[in-house]
Structure 1
Amino acid sequence: MPYAPVEGARLWYEEAGSGHPILFIHEFAADHRDWEDQMRFFSREYRCIAYSARGYPPSDVPSDPKLYGQDFAVADAAAVLRHLGIPKAHIVGLSMGGFASLLFGIRHPEMAVSLVPAGAGSGSPRSEQAPFRAASQARGDALIRQGWPGEIAEETGHSPTRIQLKKKDPRGWAAYMARLSEHSGLGTGLTMKHYQGERDSIFDWEAELRRMEVPTLLAVGDEDRPCIETNIWLKSVLPNAGLWMCPRTGHAINLEEPAAFNAALSAFFSTVERGRWRLG
């Protein structure tokens, strides 16, 4: 199995296709498998890489809480690209991965052809940050204690921003739930406590974001309430960003509406690669 060495762990990754590279960074309640629709579609013309984050088998699950957090998430993405000899790629992330993709653009702009932060921003508004952090600590403790099968998975799959997938695609939702039940309680619990529960507010990065010129496509579902305010704000501060809002769609936008998501990204990548994204 292919692994990329990173600080304190090894990350399992998979590749498909050839051409310009795309790196996919998954969300908290997912792993590399949740990018399958994108890997199949884009590998026709691109070199696609998806990996499982630290704490998500078959990647290593460090037991040291100090080996989790937003700094590791960004450094790991860069390390995977360096391991594969890729100097620059399109960076696509969902939710927790979308957060990482934005921070990647701040810290490693020279390695990003473009950014697609999808469904990013939960817990970032000032009024929501403290309760979000407290809830993340409690959820992380519960995951470490009891793991995913049962109550936590059912609550996640039926949450207000994920129930849309079940309504639209029951078969796809069932597959998602099966994957969810296989996650490491320890790995995801430590991720929830020390990445989700300790990360910055995106609003903290305003000065850096206003200077960031990497072409960016913000993607969000119009029923993904915790993320809408942050994405509208991001559109107002990022100098080279567009905002795509998918109607009747919740948080797992790439799973709910893969055809629309893939089409939006395909058009964006093409425009960026032709040097036509930024007008003026």
Structure 2
Amino acid sequence: MPYAPSDGARLWYEETGTGHPILFIHEFGADHREWEDQVRFFSREYRCVTYAARGYPPSEVPTDPRLYGQDFAVKDAVAVLRHLGIPKAHVVGLSMGGFAALLFGIRHPEMAVSLVPAGAGSGSPRQEQAAFRAACQARGDKLIAQGWPGELAEETGNAPTRIQLRKKDPRGWAAYMERLAEHSGPGTGLTMKHYQGERDSIFDWEPELRRMRVPTLLAVGDEDGPCIETNVWLKGVLPNAGLWMCPRTGHAINLEEPAAFNREVAAFLSTVERGRWSLDATG
């Protein structure tokens, strides 16, 4: 298996296709396999790179809680790109991966051709942050103790922002649930406690976001309630961003509506590559 060395963990990765590189960063409740519909579509013209986050086999699962968190999420994305000799890429992330994509753009704008943070922002609004963090700590402890099969997987797959996938695509939902049950309890539990439960609010980054000029496509489903406020705010703060809201869609936007997601992202990447995304004279 191919692995990229990072700080405290080796990361399993997969690359498909040739051309301009796209790095895909997965969400908490999934893994590198969630991007299959995107890899099949974009690898016709792009070099697609997916990887499993630390704590998600076949990547390594560190047992030290200090080896998890938002800083490691960005370091891991950089480590994969550098291991593959990629100086600059489009970066596409969902949820936890969308959060990482935004922070990647702030910290390493020279490595980002563009950003597509999809479904990012859960727990970021000030009035929600304390409760969100407490829930992450409790859920992380439960995952470490119990693992995924059974109660926690069913609760996740039938959550208000995920039930849309089951309604639209029962086979796709069943495949998602099968993958979910295979995740490492300790790995995802530590991720939940120390990445999800200790990460910044995106609102904390306002000064940095106002200065970040990386072309950005914000993507969110109109039934992804925990993320809508943050994405509308981001549209007003980021100087070079567009906002696409997909109707009748929940959190896992790329799984629920793969054709629409691929179409919108492809149009965005094309516009960026032609130098036509920015509408101001300095962009």
Which secondary structure state, in structure 2, belongs to the residue aligned with residue 114 of structure 1?
A: strand
| Alignment size in residue pairs | 280
Q: Gaps (5+ residues) in structure 2?
A: none
Which secondary structure state, in structure 2, belongs to the residue aligned with residue 250 of structure 1?
A: coil
1:57 match: 57
Give 1:83 shift. 0.2
Alignment partners' CA distance in 1, 2:21 and 2:71: 23
Q: Cα deviations across residues 111-143 of structure 1 (Å, max 9, x unaligned)?
A: 000000000000000000000000000000000
Alignment partners' CA distance in 1, 2:248 and 2:258: 13
Q: Which runs of 4+ in 1 moved over 6 A?
A: none
Give 1:211 shift. 0.2
Which secondary structure state, in structure 2, belongs to the residue aligned with residue 15 of structure 1?
A: strand
Matched, 1:240 2:240: yes
Q: Cα deviations across residues 52-83 of structure 1 (Å, max 9, x unaligned)?
A: 00000000000000000000000100110000
Matched, 1:100 2:100: yes
2:261 match: 261
2:190 match: 190
Give 1:254 shift. 0.3
Alignment partners' CA distance in 1, 2:272 and 2:184: 37
1:36 match: 36
2:201 match: 201
Which secondary structure state, in structure 2, belongs to the residue aligned with residue 148 of structure 1?
A: coil
Give 1:8 shift. 0.6
Which secondary structure state, in structure 2, belongs to the residue aligned with residue 93 of structure 1?
A: strand
Alignment partners' CA distance in 2, 1:196 and 1:20: 31
2:46 match: 46
TM-score (norm: length of structure 1): 1.00
Code of the residue aligned with 2:96 in structure 1: it is: M
Which secondary structure state, in structure 2, belongs to the residue aligned with residue 87 of structure 1?
A: coil
Give 1:277 shift. 0.1
1:147 match: 147
Give 1:193 shift. 0.1
Code of the residue aligned with 2:56 in structure 1: it is: Y
2:117 match: 117
TM-score (norm: length of structure 2): 0.99
Give 1:167 shift. 0.1
Which secondary structure state, in structure 2, belongs to the residue aligned with residue 239 of structure 1?
A: coil
Code of the residue aligned with 1:274 in structure 2: it is: R
1:24 match: 24
1:131 match: 131
Alignment partners' CA distance in 1, 2:15 and 2:208: 32
Alignment partners' CA distance in 1, 2:174 and 2:13: 24
Matched, 1:222 2:222: yes
Percent identity among equivalent residues? 85
Give 1:16 shift. 0.4
Matched, 1:159 2:132: no
Alignment partners' CA distance in 2, 1:37 and 1:166: 17
Q: Cα deviations across residues 221-249 of structure 1 (Å, max 9, x unaligned)?
A: 00000000000000000000000000000
Alignment partners' CA distance in 2, 1:133 and 1:66: 17
2:176 match: 176
Alignment partners' CA distance in 2, 1:205 and 1:225: 21
Q: Cα deviations across residues 231-277 of structure 1 (Å, max 9, x unaligned)?
A: 00000000000000000000000000000000000000000000000
Give 1:185 shift. 0.1
Q: Gaps (5+ residues) in structure 1?
A: none
Q: Cα deviations across residues 178-212 of structure 1 (Å, max 9, x unaligned)?
A: 00000000000000000000000000000000000
Which secondary structure state, in structure 1, belongs to the residue aligned with residue 177 of structure 2?
A: helix
Alignment partners' CA distance in 1, 2:162 and 2:128: 19
Code of the residue aligned with 2:24 in structure 1: it is: F
Give 1:100 shift. 0.2
1:76 match: 76
